[in-house]
Amino acid sequence: MPYYRQIDGIRAIAVIGPVVVHFWPRTVPPSPYTPAIAHIGSLGVDLFFAISGFLITGILLRSRTTVALGRNNLLSVLRSFYVRRSIRLFPIYYLSLLILAILGLQEIREHWTWYAFYLANFHMALTGQWPGALSHLWSLSVEEQFYLLWPFLILSLRDKWLPWVLLVAMLLAPLFRLLLSGIHAGPMSIAIITPCCLDPLCGGALLSYAFHAGRPERWWNWLRLAGGIGILGTGVMLTRYILDSTGGPVNGTMPLLRVFTTLTFTAIIGHADAERTGRLGRLLICRPMVGLGRISYGVYLYHPFVGWGLDHAVGKSQSPTVMMFVLVLVCTILVASLSWHLVERPISSLKHRFPYAHNRAIP
């Protein structure tokens, strides 16, 4: 799949949300809207899921075509896929876990196997507790589980079955959340176990399939309709949440919200992929957005660790201020930038040794 700068721009938007979730309530004086702002920011994770579904499915569909044409074989495709994903994701992830263990983070030392094998989401669902600075690792576990299984699904299904399987998987996710809600499962389980997160992943995958199948103009009206329904539904449900004084996790207490955000985010990705000269396109490809998007993995991974370090440096008792939020944000971007230039980009250069037959600057 060709590299589009717009996708990095969308990544920049997505990563801002989790930073707000984790630090806005801690660093800004409380207000009636603070919980709502924080939980709305958590939707950035779903945007990341939709991006992953779109990009990874595109890579696999193009690889499947090369296999069908005899330019590649299945084992070679799988090897290239898993090695390239590992090169991109593993180094700073495991380096972070190692450093945190050395620094004495008890959660890592006691439950390291859950984090080492990307099972953090199931660990948190079983315990029903957010493990402080490691809480955000649930979404990286979901993504890694997706990467592990998705190639076998995409590469093994026939063309006529693939879109229907993706659609069914996307529809089963909200049903699964409603089922768990009906049996009074904890809101954390409803929000973070992998089957409950499939709709944004499959929404992005369906969009990628539509584009790969050719003549994407056939889908524009449907994409606009999906975006309109998604924006309306998301707006109504978030307004209801903001007016609800009881609070609670957005994706846990409102199992249908993720359906509407999936429609919204899929439409955004689809339009961003096509619109390169309009207002949205110009916003997404401006240098700050592309730059932030490029280091978004590091920003997402490091931002709670930076906050944990600052807590120990300046003390948790300090009164919340906007300046503290800005300090956390700036330090996180600085650490992520250094990580990109000193660790991630040099190691990622090894990916050229494991090319896809169709490879054209795949992100």
Mean pLDDT of 242-254: 52
> Of 165-179, 216-230, 237-251, 258-272, where does mean pLDDT reach its minimum?
237-251
Say if residue 361's pLDDT is above 50: no
Q: What span, in angstroms and rounded, lies between the C-alpha atoms of 143 and 42? A: 16
Q: Are 273 and 219 in contact (CB under 8 A)?
A: no
- Residue 134: is it exposed, middle or buried by C-beta count within 10 angstroms (0-12/13-18/19+)? buried
Per-residue b/e over 279-294, b at no fewer than 16 CB within 10 Å?
ebbeebbeeebbbbbb
Average pLDDT, the chain: 86
Say what the alpha-carbon torsion angle 44, 23, 34, 197 is, to the nearest 10 degrees: 30
Q: Looking at the chain, how many residues does it have?
A: 363
Nearby residues of 212 by Cβ (< 8 Å), 6 or more positions away: 58, 61, 62
| pLDDT confidence band for 222 (50 / 70 / 90) | confident
pLDDT tens-place string over residues 198-212: 999 999 999 999 988
* pLDDT of amino acid 358: 58
Say if residue 245's pLDDT is above 60: no
Q: Are 204 and 52 in contact (CB under 8 A)?
A: yes
* pLDDT of amino acid 356: 83
CA distances to 17, 161, 277, 300, 353 from 37, in Å: 9, 40, 31, 18, 44
CA distances to 78, 87, 157, 298, 300 from 151, in Å: 7, 17, 10, 25, 25
Mean pLDDT of 52-64: 95
This prediction has a pTM of: 0.91
* pLDDT of amino acid 349: 93
User: Which of left, alpha, beta for 319 (phi over 0: left; psi -120 to 50: alpha)?
Assistant: beta
